[in-house]
Amino acid sequence: MAVGQVLLVLLAASTVSATKDLLLNVCMDAKHHKSKPGPEGLLHGQCSPWKDNACCTANTSSEAHRDQSYLYSFNWNHCGVMPPKCKRHFIQDTCLYECSPNLGPWIDKADSSWRRERILHVPLCKEDCEEWWEDCKDSVTCKENWHKGWNWATGTNSCPWGSMCRPFSHVFPQPADLCEKIWSNSYKYTTEHRGSGRCIQMWFDPAQGNPNVLVAKHYAWKKRSSPARMKNVTPAETGKAVCALPWPALVPLPLALLMLP
């Protein structure tokens, strides 16, 4: 019984460590993402903060700035021209989604023909969400959820038949409505502030480093060390943990077993 307890403690610790690493510095399996993050010195415009370590290519970053790019054939101007002060937030949103290697704790399986993974409930900083809403509240759209329900008859998204173009402030009465609903709960509104280490920033100064690195580490540790998580560790993950158990942890194992009563 005691031997089993020692093994369980060691395996649990190594499982947390090994699985946590799978959530850090990773790219999701989606349409335009690289398989692994790395330097991209020529990232365009608003995507440039990720140039030192990115999941996007320079071409993807350039297309992210176009009104209607080849990335998803999505037209921001489906209800008339989107004002620049609003559009810049959607560009930044696209840059974060395509380029960030720090979204691992929120990667989830996607039920889609064009991607295998998506992000879900990424905790967005209060300022990022509220500034997005403030700059877009007078812009116009015909849909609440931009992930689905469009008319694609022309090859690009158009408003569904019978829908009306309305101000964002009517479609999304509060900042949380915009950030959470527009991309099927990809983001979660939080009251955490930029620099807190508890929320993802769409906007940051690369000269000060990428604050989302520490945020991802915090949530990876929190997610993988929770009691519920350890209770549901699968045999496959346990096998990976044994392989991932570092040599310094294996060396004292026989000694620990000998010392058991």
Q: Token pair for residue 171?
A: 């479609």
Q: How far apart (Å, rounded) are the C-alpha atoms in residues 184 and 120?
A: 8
* Per-residue model confidence as pLDDT tens digits over 150-193: 999 999 999 999 999 999 999 999 999 999 999 999 999 999 99
* Per-residue model confidence as pLDDT tens digits over 117-130: 999 999 999 999 99
Q: Token pair for residue 192?
A: 């955490």
pLDDT of residue 121: 98
Residues paired with residue 106 on neighbouring β-strands, in sequence order? none
User: 209: how many CB neighbours lie within 10 A of its CB?
Assistant: 11
Q: pLDDT class for 229, splitting at 50, 70, 90?
A: low
As a whole number, mean pLDDT of residues 45-57 equals 94
Write the DSSP assignment of 227-254 as a string of letters: HHHHHT--HHHHHHHHHH--HHHHTHHH
Going by their DSSP bridges, the two strands 166-167 and 140-141 should be labelled as: antiparallel
User: 153: how many CB neighbours lie within 10 A of its CB?
Assistant: 8
pLDDT of residue 85: 97
Residues paired with residue 108 on neighbouring β-strands, in sequence order? 118
Q: How far apart (Å, rounded) are the C-alpha atoms in residues 124 and 186?
A: 10
- Mean pLDDT of all residues in the chain? 83
